[in-house]
Amino acid sequence: MSATAPDLPSLGRDRTPVGGITLQGWAESVCGYLDGEDEPVILVGHSRAGAVISQAAEERPEKVRMLVYLAAYLLADGESVSQTALQDERSLVVPSMILAPDRKSCTLREAAVKEALYGECPDEDVILAQSLLAPEALAPLTTPIRTSAANYGRVPRVYIECRRDRALSLSEQRRMARAMPCQQILSLDTDHSPFFSSPDELTAHLLSLQS
């Protein structure tokens, strides 16, 4: 088994300018990786990337064996990340967002980054994560996903909830999983970033989906 963790355009180490970033462009970036695989893959999306993997599965359902939403936005057709996030009264992210003057991107208030995203992560991982944070394009967050029963609807879904998440509250995670039923719901007693705070437990959950 192998795993790939690509950076979406304009995020992480990818420095594509945010001005032209769209949800469809992010989905097409993921589809590029899917097209290079010989067999269907398990596609994992964290946080707002839940919308991205949903849109990618709509475009390439035959390439996706399973969708895994890790503390992620599991949206119905016509819903957007921003629309759903604004309903999450317990999230620390929305009240801490700073819009750029041109309203094309946003950042998170520095004082809120650790508490909202990395509350239980080792300091060295927080430093690494913060060094990779950059202004994020707003267009993918405000664009509704477009999915169908014929394509996206035929791909199995699993949700991994993070019970101490302060970016996407547990109550909101569970609301989405009820609205868009999943074949399985797994649980982690972690913050929003279990790949740093609880990597062994997260890995065990992901490996359990291989069988």
| Domain region containing 104 | 18-208
What is the C-alpha separation between 194 and 41, in angstroms, rounded? Answer: 21
What amino acid is encoded at 101 in this protein?
P
Does a structural domain hold residue 117? yes
- How many angstroms separate the Cα of 160 from the Cα of each of 44, 59, 63? 10, 23, 21
Domain count, the chain: 1
Count of alpha carbons within 13 Å of 200, Cβ hemisphere only? 0
* pLDDT at residue 56, rounded to an integer: 98
* Residue range 10-67, pLDDT digits in tens: 999 998 999 999 999 999 999 999 999 999 999 999 999 999 999 999 999 999 999 9
* pLDDT at residue 48, rounded to an integer: 97
Q: Is the pLDDT of residue 211 over 80?
A: no
- Mean pLDDT, rounded, for 163-179: 98
Does a structural domain hold residue 25? yes
- 0.85 cut: is pTM over it? yes
Asked if 208 and 187 touch (Cβ cutoff 8 Å), the reply is: no
* pLDDT at residue 38, rounded to an integer: 94
Return the number of other C-beta atoms located less than 10 Å from residue 78's C-beta. Answer: 10
Does a structural domain hold residue 3? no
* Residue range 63-122, pLDDT digits in tens: 999 999 999 999 999 999 999 999 999 999 999 999 999 999 999 999 999 999 999 999
* Residue range 185-207, pLDDT digits in tens: 999 999 999 999 999 999 999 99
- CATH value at residue 119: 3.40.50.1820
Does a structural domain hold residue 12? no
* pLDDT at residue 208, rounded to an integer: 95
- Mean pLDDT, rounded, for 115-132: 94
Kindly give the residue spans of alpha helices, DSSP state H, lying in the chain: 23-35, 49-59, 81-85, 110-117, 123-132, 139-142, 170-179, 194-197, 199-208
What amino acid is encoded at 170 in this protein?
L
Does a structural domain hold residue 8? no
Does a structural domain hold residue 5? no
What is the C-alpha separation between 128 and 91, in angstroms, rounded? Answer: 23
Q: Is the pLDDT of residue 2 over 90?
A: no
